[in-house]
Amino acid sequence: MDRKIKLVYATAHGELEYDSELGALGANGEEYWELRAEDLIPLPAGATLFYLPGRAPLGLADDGTVEFINEKGIQAVAAILPQGYTRLFLPAYQRKENAPGLPLFGYTAVAFKEGRLWVAARRTDEPGKWDPCFYNTPELPGLIQAKLDAYPENRILKQLARCAREYQCFTAQNIFYGRWEGGIPVSPSCNARCLGCISKQVAECCPSPQERIAFTPTVEEVVEVGLPHLAGDGAILSFGQGCEGESLLAGKVLKAAITTLRQKTKAGTININTNAGLPTVLEELAAAGLDTARISLFSADPVSYRFYHRPQGYTLNQVGEAIGRLDRHGVFVSLNLLTLPGFTDREAQVEKLFAFLRRYPVGMIQIRNLNIDPDYIWARLRQEKLVPAGEALGIAGFLAELNREFPQLTVGNYSRAHRGRA
């Protein structure tokens, strides 16, 4: 059997084929790396295959040259990974003039080997409670309707019903299942304008995949949803979801709601997903009973941080200050590290991140594949003269270095239940 790792492409009719002559490549930023057996895992259950319009697939010829398939209708292919998997390489392609922008997904290189499809990825967490088999079950519509009937005036539940049905959001569905990590959106506004924002895309990048809430809920609405959820199996109540802005901007509501929830129950974990740009507000939530915080980070370099997050009224320094304040209150802090092959793994970026981790008390790194059009973000990086310097370790090399330098850190993809106080 031919064991060479082959280039995969889509035909004009949308059918997948492999090229018998060209080997598979992955993109690490704007570099092309030959895909090796150790870079690949079989296409996991729950992955989605996409063709990439206006992009000709690139492969490696036997003489070591990079070639593209320039036949009419042939397009490059990428995979979108399920949760629990970290992308190692972007798809390798040549973008044609006037190619359309790509929606906000984490595009991953695909290859053909030993009679089946493989992806350039690594499993970095066990899916467990996030296995798709636990979601979109036959009983879900009835559970949604029962909850809506029980609380007919609750606007949060109406929003989450839409998220659960239309966007198939797992944290929204968990509110109706009454278990595990359930999300409560609270803020219609944000103090950052992230290039890859999934709820409101003010940049010219691409359309957002979900709609942001248009209201700030009352304390009573939050407690009405949150209190029964905290009594559920393995309950994590999470603020700061994909269908909202920055939850700290609803700090007064959150503080009162968390205070009320913790007066009524000590069960479960109360978590916030945040940019941490308001340290004082975050500390008030910690004092009220917040247990864990997950802070989004594209880069620990102040200039690159500002490039991606485009914060309004705060800097990376405030993020570090917030981590210190949370630690003083016993709140477990995770970094939601938005990884981009060819950027995150560059020596200059790795050094900045490691210095940040030595300075601030972080308990976990949650690896997130950055959902964005690769062409768009690399064009912006070139425009801003921010293409990082130094050798590229590759994402696999970066993860190995992270584990070596910080063996005490938990590295994975999912939030953990954690109580910050007795």
pLDDT in tens, the chain (422 residues): 345 899 999 998 889 999 999 999 999 999 999 999 999 999 999 899 999 999 999 999 999 999 989 888 999 999 999 989 999 999 999 999 999 999 999 999 999 999 999 999 999 998 788 888 899 999 999 999 999 999 999 999 999 999 999 989 999 999 999 999 999 999 999 999 999 887 654 445 555 555 778 889 999 999 999 999 999 999 999 999 878 899 999 999 999 999 999 999 999 999 999 999 999 999 999 999 999 999 999 999 999 999 999 999 999 999 999 999 999 999 999 999 999 999 999 999 999 999 999 999 999 999 999 999 999 999 999 999 999 888 999 999 999 999 999 999 999 998 888 765 44
Amino acid letter, 143? L
**Is the separation of the CB atoms in 33 and 394 below 8 Å?**
yes
Both tokens of 221, joined, read 């609405």
| pLDDT value, residue 1 | 31
What is the DSSP code (8-state) at residue 83? T
What is the DSSP code (8-state) at residue 101? P
Of the candidates 33, 15, 13, which has an alpha carbon nearest to the alpha carbon of residue 23?
A: 33
What is the DSSP code (8-state) at residue 63? T
Contacts of 167 (CB under 8 A, 6+ apart): 209, 210, 243
Given phi > 0 = left and psi -120 to 50 = alpha, else beta, which region is 403? alpha
| pLDDT value, residue 206 | 53
Of the candidates 26, 34, 27, which has an alpha carbon nearest to the alpha carbon of residue 63?
A: 34
| pLDDT value, residue 199 | 62
| pLDDT value, residue 319 | 98
What's the distance, Cα to Cα, between the start and end of the chain in Å? 60
Overall pTM surpassing 0.75 (yes/no): yes
The SS3 assignment for 374 reads helix
| pLDDT value, residue 57 | 97
Pairwise CA distance, residues 305 & 290, whole Å: 26
Write down all domains in the chain, each with its CATH number in brackets. Answer: 6-123 (no CATH), 128-412 (3.20.20.70)
The secondary structure of 181-224 as a DSSP string is EEEE---S--SB--TT-SS---SSS---SSPPP-SPPPHHHHHH
